[in-house]
Amino acid sequence: MNQLIVKLMFGLLLFAAAAFGDVYLGPSDGNNLPGRAPITREYMQQMIEERGDTHFCALKSSARSERSKSSTLASITLPTSNMYDYDVLYYEINLEILLYNDYTDGYVEMQLASLVDGLSYVDLNLTPYLNVSAVRLNGVSQSFTHSTQILSVNLNETFDTGEKFMLKVEYHGYAYFDEEGGMFIDYNNGHTACNTTCEPFGSRNWWPCKDFPFDKPDSMDIIITHPTTYNGYEIDCGSAGTLMSVTNNGDGTTTTHWFEKYPIATYLVALMVTDFDQTVQQWEYAPGQFMPVVHNMFPYISPSDPYQSGYGMLQYTVPALQAYSDHFGMYPFVDEKYGNMHCNFPGMEHQTMSSIGTYWSGEYVIIHELAHQWAGDQVTCKTFHDVWLNEGFGTYFEIIYFEQWAGPEFAKQWLMGYYGLNRGTPYVEDLDNDNIFDGSTVYAKGAWLVHMLRDQMGDSLFFPAMEYFYKESEFAGKSASTDDLNSVVSQFYGSDMSWFFSAWVYQEGQPKYEYSYQWHPDTISGSGYFVDLFIEQTASYGFFPMHIDIEVTAGAYDSTFRVWNGTIGDLYQFHLPDTITSVTIDPNMNILKTSHYVPFGMHIYTVNFPIAVINEPYSTAVQAIGGVGDHTWDKILGQFPPGVTLNSATGEISGTPTWEGTYYVQLRCTDSDSPANIDTRSFNLKVGGPPHLCGDADGSDEVDIDDVVYLIAYIFSGGPAPDPLEAGDADSSGAIDIDDVVYLIAYIFSGGPEPCAGS
């Protein structure tokens, strides 16, 4: 079957989808989507150019990033202390929306649970532009104050830890929309629509809630009464979760009821009230198991026009669901639905029902918002400081999609489209003044961070770790921070990966590698050659520890080695069968970096000095490789500890230090060439106190009954602590308690084991 016939058949399928509703699109085999011509480099490049420097999803913050700053921002970006004293279990939003203006009237009822004893009031977020007519606790009116962004409710009874209660806020007024988000009425081609988009802090502009992502309700009802028809068009309401009912009230209004049974962040709650043409696809996520994929399209958008987003909704959503489920675990809301609904803004990853702008037709738009159902909806950033967990992962999911449906070559082309050297951090340090949705740091650099995490872990660990994170970890269905992600991936990696996140999330910039190499015959075995490779990080803003792939060619020999670059300058040696032809740092471009070659010259390769002990002889040596002739050493900055000197001819550092402390020195090595090769490196030499005698709690240099008395006084009577504290930890348990007293008594009087014998 040739491609033309396939295209014609798929065009008919799209036409049928628009005309008749349900369409089945099951799993597809191969590296191309069903019904589409193979992806080309030109197609990928065109999408990259359309995407531009700023990801479309980041446009949701364009107004926010340009706003004037005011002293009220802290009340927007920071929760009150009271908001940590209760947990939201449930919301019901019950509103009437008129459509001819922004006026809304109704209530929000919520179930809360106290997290402290004696909870006497509750703070909620709500714009002052909405008027609160009453607040009821279990049906009884309560007093309240409403100023700036805070609705503070005084409870007429107190609640202790774990006690639950119902709070109902009745309100009305004109819903508000600003740079934080909210609700607005818009008009397009003669059609009226009520839109909501609320990331980061805009939910409070149309309903009272705790408007921060660290506290999700377990479930919620969304009940909207709206005109049955408006300007001659039948009106529908799209939202999160499962459609429970649509009731014609017989008075010109209809009530639409949605129920979201999964935890949901407030900013992911959405409404779209307008006239839609609906198409429903069926995704076969397991043999004989189907999930509806709902597309609510503006009636003036043609689903067969590739330059409008209706086309992309129908063509790319189901394949993306399949690709992401294959790699990160089943779509989290598979027993509800997924869908897209048209909106009058660029787009937003609303839970189970993404909003998609009408003319954002790029394939990446559809697949990016869907990616957030895992990264952002199922696991939400705990605060917007860590929004890269949403947007960096959401952007990297695009690469996974292209890997599955276009192949690794085109996926890498798409990833390289995000390649950029930016001094900023994915971590948003200042929520009041920084652009939370910075395209170059949060999105692009965030995506590269995920790619590098994958490279450092390997696919066999990365994908199971991420599936566990989204599906089974304590953060699934909740919120997480960077540290929380680190705790999960470290569990799979087998050791703490803080070295990775500390550098890439919180530190500006990226590594600048300067590398050089030399080779010399293997005179020991008489066969082959040794290559000395020196890699130095020269960026002034920080150090990035990483595993680096090194590709080495020597004649017909070609091999790739993975090395650990754990210091600012590391020396590596390889054995090769022939003289070296080339060395390439990170040949597969898996690290966000710059690198360049310099002649080998001479390099100091000593990294750290061992710790010295006061009043005890000390000796170490600093070493260099390369250069010509003898090396000469001198100190150009700092000072050595009193009693310690540098031998300028040998680089030996020796003596008996007489003062404790940490001493900074910068050393210079000069060879005998003309002009001379010179290298410098900074070191810290720490001089510590004498090692303590375990069990010698009173510092008398012996372990006896006085130490028992000393420990008893410390543990039970507030006496002075052992110095150092670990001297009192006789049983090496990590804590000083009565067990240490018993341990010492057994040692002193009964021949028990020596203190710290088990350490």
Whether residue 616 contacts residue 605, with contact meaning beta carbons closer than 8 Å, is answered with: no
CATH of the domain at 563: 2.60.40.1840
Q: What percent of the chain has pLDDT over 70?
A: 92
- Please check whether residues 237 and 99 belong to one and the same domain: yes
Evaluate whether residue 354 is within a structural domain: no
- Looking at the DSSP bridge assignments, the partners of residue 170 are 107, 134
User: Of 245, 270, 295, which one is at a domain's C-terminal end?
Assistant: 270
Is 449 part of any domain?
Answer: no
> What does the pLDDT average to over 442-458?
97
- Residue showing tokens 């954002």: 360
Task: State the amino acid at position 565 in one-letter form.
Answer: N
- Average pLDDT of span 305-320: 91
Q: Which of 429-443, 462-476, 673-687 has the lowest mean pLDDT?
A: 429-443
Query: End-to-end alpha-carbon separation of the chain, Å?
Result: 73
260-278 burial code (b ≥16 CB/10 A, e <16): bebbbbbbbbbbbbbbbbe
717 and 627 share one domain:
no
Mean pLDDT across 239-245: 98
Query: Which single residue is written with the structure tokens 């990170």?
Result: 586
Question: Among residues 387, 469, 473, which one has the least CA distance to residue 431?
Answer: 387
C-alpha span between 575 and 554 (Å, rounded)? 10
Amino acid 5: pLDDT? 28
Count of CB atoms situated within 10 Å of the CB of 749: 10
- Please report whether residue 34 resides in a domain: no
CB atoms within 10 A of CB 1: 6
Within-domain flag for 209: yes
Lowest mean pLDDT among 13-17, 258-262, 301-305: 13-17
Q: How many domains does the chain have?
A: 4
Read off the amino acid at residue 256. T
Residue 313 has pLDDT above 90, yes or no: yes
Cβ of 590: how many Cβ atoms within 10 Å? 19
- The whole-number pLDDT of residue 36 equals 63
The residue that leads in pLDDT, 305 or 585, is: 585
Sign of the CA dihedral running 169, 170, 176, 182: positive
User: Which residues contact residue 55 at a Cβ distance below 8 angstroms, ignoring those fewer than 6 apart?
Assistant: 368, 391, 395, 439, 443, 444
Q: Structure tokens of 85? A: 């004293």
Exposure string for 433-452, b = 16+ CB within 10 A, e = fewer = ebbbbbbbbbbbbbbbbbbb
Q: How far apart are CA 491 and CA 603, in angstroms?
A: 37
Nearest CA to 723 out of 691, 693, 697 is that of 697
In this structure, are 595 and 629 located in the same domain? no
> Does residue 681 sit in the same domain as residue 720?
no
Banded model confidence at residue 163, pLDDT cuts 50, 70, 90: very high
Is 498 within 8 Å of 486 (Cβ atoms)?
yes
Per-residue confidence (pLDDT) for residue 58, from 0 to 100 = 64
Residue 389 neighbours by CB under 8 Å, 6+ apart: 375, 376, 379, 381, 480, 481, 482, 485
CATH number of domain containing 625:
2.60.40.10
Contact 486, 456 (CB under 8 A): no
Q: Cβ(687)–Cβ(659) under 8 Å?
A: yes
- Please report the pLDDT score of residue 73 as a whole number: 44
**408: which residues sit within 8 A by CB, 6+ positions away?**
none
Domain membership of residue 427 (yes or no) is: no
Q: Give residue 37's pLDDT band: very low, low, confident or very high (50, 70, 90).
A: low
Q: Is 260 a domain residue?
A: yes
Q: Domain range for residue 244? A: 85-270
Select the more confidently predicted residue: 710 or 24. 710
In this predicted model, what pLDDT tens digit does every residue of 487-545 receive, in sequence order? Answer: 999 999 999 999 999 999 999 999 999 999 999 999 989 899 999 999 999 998 889 99
Instruction: CATH number of the domain at 246, please.
Output: 2.60.40.1730
The residue among 270, 292, 327 that closes a domain is 270
Classify residue 424: in a domain, yes or no.
no
Sheet holding 546-554, edge to edge: 557-565, 546-554, 582-585
| Domain termination residue (choose one: 239, 270, 301) | 270
Residues 143 and 227 in one domain: yes
Quote the pLDDT of residue 61: 47
384 alpha carbon, distance to own chain's centre: 10
pTM: 0.85
Phi/psi at 485 (5° precision): -60, -45
pLDDT over 80 at 11, yes or no: no
Same domain, 585 and 622: no
pLDDT at 1 over 80: no
Q: What would the two tokens of residue 122 be?
A: 């509750």
Query: Which tens digits make up the pLDDT trace of 319-377?
Result: 999 999 999 999 999 999 999 999 998 899 999 999 999 877 678 999 999 999 999 99
- Of the chain, the percentage scoring pLDDT greater than 90 comes to 78
Residues 546 and 631 in one domain: no
One-letter-per-residue 3-state SS of 270-305: CCEEECCEEEEEEEEEECCEEEEEEEEECCCCCCCC
